[in-house]
Amino acid sequence: MKTYTSSAEHFVLITGASRGIGRACALLFARMGWHIFLNCRRSFLELQEVEKKIQSETPGSCTILPGDVGNPEDVRQIFDAIYQICPCLDVLINNAGIAHIGLLTDMTDQQWQDIINTNLSSVFYCCRSAVPPMITRKQGRIINISSMWGTSGASCEAAYSASKSGVHGLTRALAKELAPSNIQVNAVACGVIDTAMNSQLDARERQALEEDIPSGRFGRPEEVARLVWDLSQAPDYLTGQIIGIDGGYI
């Protein structure tokens, strides 16, 4: 396997980096001069566009590492490639996620499993591979992108809510496990963010939802990215937290 090198001093893996929150995070960290490991499962052309933007418009650098982070073998291959470039990640951003809207009784076994694998199991698989070098170095940050529905639950989104609630529990438990090694684990519980995940809403549904949000609008991916960046630079004592960014919705 080919060995790569990078002159960057800081390294971050962002899963689901081809669009929305993941893309915004990748561009922000690249503007700060970091090396970004860009991952997605299917949107490879969009991921290449992010790569081009990083290379042409930022002082950062990047490596594309496609793969399904809900599959443990893909995750092993992704991290094998990462550790040829750097000995340890500084930050892991678990952002990959999918949604499903519909009645629980109408869900198939496969739809349920896809949600759990992509939204929850991926966090476990990536953390399992990222943590050992962090422990050796006694330094590292894990930031899990979650949802306010992981706290309150959403009608007709039972599987999604369950997966995000699992992310919250995993975040809190892993933070306690890794605190003695000076590794911080936090989650960002997003409200309604203006991404492709919410593109299925028609104009009337969108307006009704905006009226329910105290801030009167959807959040922007760049706003979430700024919070993620702040968490990557936060005091070491901040760990095990589920931090909401929802315009006052919850």
Distance of alpha carbon 53 from alpha carbon 93, whole angstroms: 20
Do residues 213 and 201 lie in contact, with contact meaning Cβ atoms separated by under 8 Å? no
User: Does residue 26 carry a pLDDT above 80?
Assistant: yes
**Which residues have a catalytic role annotated?**
160
Q: What is the pLDDT of residue 201?
A: 80
Distance of alpha carbon 35 from alpha carbon 26, whole angstroms: 9
Among candidates 3, 10, 130, which has minimal Cα distance to 60?
A: 10
Do residues 227 and 171 lie in contact, with contact meaning Cβ atoms separated by under 8 Å? no
Burial 112-138 (b: 16+ CB within 10 A, else e): beebbbbbbbbbbbbbebbbebbeeee
Structural domain spans, the chain: 11-245
Q: List, for residues 84-115, the tens digit of each pLDDT value.
A: 999 999 999 999 999 999 999 999 999 999 99
For the domain 11-245, what is the CATH code? 3.40.50.720
3-class DSSP state of 242: strand
* Amino acid letter, residue 53: K
Distance of alpha carbon 125 from alpha carbon 150, whole angstroms: 20
CA-based torsion, 128, 69, 223, 151: positive or negative: negative
Distance of alpha carbon 200 from alpha carbon 187, whole angstroms: 26
Q: What is the pLDDT of residue 56?
A: 98
Query: Tokens in use for 173?
Result: 């438990």
User: Does residue 1 carry a pLDDT above 60?
Assistant: no
Banded pLDDT at 2 (limits 50, 70, 90): very low
Q: List, for residues 37-62, the tens digit of each pLDDT value.
A: 999 998 899 999 999 999 999 999 99
Torsions phi, psi for 147 (to 5 deg): -150, 150
